[in-house]
């Protein structure tokens, strides 16, 4: 089996071509002819080269997107526009068995997890096509027999989408689907560490036959391609998913143009386990929530607060779980944790483990394979306090810190004592307490007696330093469309007669 998987890595590398930009319906080199190397997280060898776009390429993409918005795409009937959106979903479904291993190969995410995420990507397009058909509706207000006032939703223009490297394919489609379904044109700036499936998505959308300029992809670095996209005055919308400090810089850089921003940023989410919780199910949720996707997920429950009455039992069982997690090749079906995305991120996570030791914590790690890959073993940090850096800062790896609490108010205060407010998890069989604690936690999302399960109809987003705005469901319409109010006089009503 190991040799077969190794052969699969080699075969995928041999089949992977260098990547170009996708602008105005064509795959093109960057104007500068510059490229950057895409590195395997499993071997730290070069996979391929990627065209490195900058301001000149963003300018070309904006011109193409504006022409499409003002022309063929903007003049399509809604049913014809949504037909393209449904077609993209169908094409993704046809290529799931190809896209999932490509994502694992590029990011180090286990293939058992990327298969589910790619399937969700197709659903994103179908969901938003249906939402626009059935839920993108206006309101009407009648004022006696004098006025009828009604609202409509209008696409805004060019959506600049800046996406992360964790679960890139699904998260790209999460933004692209509502942007296209509502009638905008798109410029996607994917993360430079995970370009393969973004390019495959461009090939799929090209095959769907959208009018030229509707969808564009400019690969490149954040400080060149990303900053140019944010700064361009004709890009009305910027949706960004990524690290909080970067999000803050993006807001500053786009402020002069008064752009609309949607920001899904970092997290340091608590999981609170009361002494009446179903321990085994809470363990299932806890281990999945921090160690799936290699711990590289914004909603990961990286802070564990367990009631002191059950702390010894829970932490003992958590240690046992950690020792049994299968860390290995991301292309093997039974791998649960793979290598981190990039050697720079690997070094950052490893540095936090050293910080934890210096801060006086006990650091307990599982085993990693003998490999050149960026492997960090599933890790448990003990003896931490809320003031420590490993509790206050986002590590974004397979690392969980366990602490204890005595009573409800204490754990609420501890959970809220960070700058982040993305997600949270509460485990208790006292449903009144579950509701009470959930509502007291500063977070955009809270799960009670559940792991992180998504319902696309509901809003996704954070509070505090974890973001601005909401994605998902009809909440996306607030960002991707302009709500216009039309006032219609039904009869001649009195008008003040100045100067008559």
Tell me, yes or no, if 264 is annotated catalytic.
yes
d(CA 127, CA 197): 21
Whether residue 361 contacts residue 353, with contact meaning beta carbons closer than 8 Å, is answered with no
Choosing from 172, 192, 236, 264, the catalytic residue is 264
Q: Which token pair is 485?
A: 């109010």
Q: Where are the beta strands (DSSP E) in 206-318?
A: 215-217, 237-241, 260-264, 270-273, 303-307
Q: Residue 191: which of 162, 224, 152 has the closest Cα? A: 162
What count of other Cβ atoms lies within 10 Å of the Cβ of residue 211? 19
d(CA 401, CA 397): 12
Choosing from 192, 298, 332, 361, the catalytic residue is 298
Q: Where are the alpha helices (DSSP H) in 95-236?
A: 96-107, 111-134, 168-181, 196-208, 227-231
Whether residue 325 contacts residue 291, with contact meaning beta carbons closer than 8 Å, is answered with yes
Tell me, yes or no, if 298 is annotated catalytic.
yes
Whether residue 480 contacts residue 184, with contact meaning beta carbons closer than 8 Å, is answered with yes
Maximum Cα interatomic distance, the chain, rounded to a whole number of Å: 92
Helix (H) or strand (E) holding 244: helix 244-254
The set of catalytic residues is: 264, 298
């Amino acid at each position: 089996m190991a040799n077969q998987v190794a052969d699969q890595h080699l075969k995928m590398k041999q089949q992977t071509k260098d990547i170009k930009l996708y602008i105005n319906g064509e795959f093109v080199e960057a104007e500068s002819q510059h490229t950057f190397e895409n590195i395997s997280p499993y071997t730290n060898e070069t996979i391929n080269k990627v065209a490195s776009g900058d301001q000149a390429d963003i300018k070309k993409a904006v011109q193409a997107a504006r022409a499409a918005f003002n022309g063929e795409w903007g003049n399509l009937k809604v049913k014809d526009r949504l037909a393209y959106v449904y077609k993209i979903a169908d094409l993704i479904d046809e290529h799931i068995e190809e896209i999932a291993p490509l994502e694992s190969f590029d990011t180090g995410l286990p293939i058992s997890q990327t298969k589910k995420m790619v399937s969700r990507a197709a659903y994103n397009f179908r969901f938003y096509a249906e939402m626009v058909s059935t839920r993108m509706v206006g309101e009407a207000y009648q004022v006696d027999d004098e006025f009828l006032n009604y609202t409509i939703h209008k696409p805004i223009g060019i959506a600049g989408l800046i996406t992360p490297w964790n679960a890139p394919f699904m998260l790209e489609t999460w933004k692209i689907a509502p942007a296209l379904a509502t009638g905008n044109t798109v410029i996607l700036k994917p993360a430079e560490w995970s370009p393969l499936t973004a390019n495959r998505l461009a090939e799929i959308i090209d095959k769907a036959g959208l009018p030229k300029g509707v969808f564009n992809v400019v690969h490149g670095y954040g400080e060149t391609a990303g900053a140019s996209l944010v700064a361009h005055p004709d890009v009305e919308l910027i949706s960004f998913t990524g690290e909080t400090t970067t999000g803050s810089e993006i807001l500053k850089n786009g402020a002069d143009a008064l752009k609309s921003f949607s920001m899904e940023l970092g997290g340091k989410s608590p999981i609170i386990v009361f002494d009446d919780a179903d321990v085994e199910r809470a363990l299932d949720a806890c281990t999945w929530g921090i160690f799936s996707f290699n711990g590289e997920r914004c909603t990961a429950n990286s802070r564990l607060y367990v009631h002191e009455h059950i702390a010894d039992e829970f932490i003992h069982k958590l240690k046992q779980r950690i020792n049994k997690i299968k860390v290995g090749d991301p292309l093997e079906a039974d791998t649960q944790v793979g290598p981190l995305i990039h050697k720079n991120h690997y070094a950052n996570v490893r540095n936090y483990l050293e910080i934890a030791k210096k801060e006086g914590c006990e650091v307990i790690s599982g085993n990693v394979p003998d490999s050149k890959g960026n492997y960090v073993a599933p890790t448990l940090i003990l003896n931490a306090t809320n003031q420590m850096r490993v509790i206050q800062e986002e590590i974004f790896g397979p690392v969980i810190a366990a602490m204890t609490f005595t009573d409800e108010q204490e754990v609420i205060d501890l959970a809220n004592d960070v700058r982040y407010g993305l997600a949270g998890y509460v485990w208790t069989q006292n449903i009144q307490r579950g509701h009470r604690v959930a509502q007291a936690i500063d977070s955009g999302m809270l799960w009670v007696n559940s792991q992180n399960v998504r319902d696309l109809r509901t809003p996704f987003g954070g509070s505090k330093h974890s973001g601005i705005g909401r994605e998902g469901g009809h909440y996306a319409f607030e960002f991707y469309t302009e709500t216009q109010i039309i006032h219609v006089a039904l009869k001649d009503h009195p008008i003040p007669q100045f100067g008559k």
